[in-house]
Amino acid sequence: MNWNDKGYVLTQLKNDGLLLESASDELKNDEEIVLAAIAQDKESFVYASDKLKNDKEFVARAMETEPWVFEFVSDNLRADPDIVLQACKENWMLLGYADEVLQWDEQFLIKAIKHNPQIIQCTDKEFQINNREFVIDVLKQNRGLIETEEDICEELRADEEVASLLAL
């Protein structure tokens, strides 16, 4: 077993992406190797080099293969609006891995919700009240989006227009 040999490692990764852990440090920094690993198992990205986990262009490509690699990117990229938006377009739950500043940034949330309306479920009472008309527009355009009434704050649920849109 030669974990320094690119061909050997690529062959092994086709069966088990987590074997990236055994690869040499040089190969953990190889884009082709890491992409092969995450194509097999998204969690293998945890073993990628710190350099790749912090490389915005590489992370964007990796998320095209597997959006959930966002869970393992550098703190720097968790705070990058472009990367976070790309992740959230694919799965609204990935917002939970973003930097807290972005999670509470009203303008970023509005932009993110326009790309993936399900993100509205992550917003807090203050956001919903401050952006009532926006919330109503999202609900009008995405009937059935809200699965449980807890996703919308009590103050808006009491609003006649919102209540009619929820029809829970």
Domain residues for the domain of 40 are 1-59
- Taking residues 42-63, report their average pLDDT: 97
**pTM, full prediction:** 0.86
43 located within any domain = yes
122 located within any domain = no
50 located within any domain = yes
164 located within any domain = no
37 located within any domain = yes
Cα–Cα nearest to 22, from 58, 47, 42: 47
Q: How far apart are CA 23 and CA 12, in angstroms?
A: 10
pLDDT of residue 5: 94
pLDDT mean across residues, the chain: 93
pLDDT of residue 51: 98
147 located within any domain = no
**Considering its fold, how many domains does the chain have in total?**
1
Cα-based distances in Å from 23 to 32, 37, 42, 91, 167: 13, 11, 16, 30, 54
Poorest-confidence range of 34-38, 57-61, 131-135, 138-142? 138-142
pLDDT of residue 148: 72
Q: What is the DSSP letter of 99?
A: -
Q: What confidence tier does 24 reach under pLDDT thresholds 50, 70, 90?
A: very high
Residue 4 has pLDDT above 90, yes or no: yes
Contact 153, 125 (CB under 8 A): yes
Q: Which residue has the tokens 């009472």?
A: 125
Cα 41 from chain centre:
16
17 located within any domain = yes
36 located within any domain = yes
pLDDT of residue 58: 98
Residue 44 has pLDDT above 70, yes or no: yes
78: left (phi over 0), alpha (psi -120 to 50) or beta: alpha
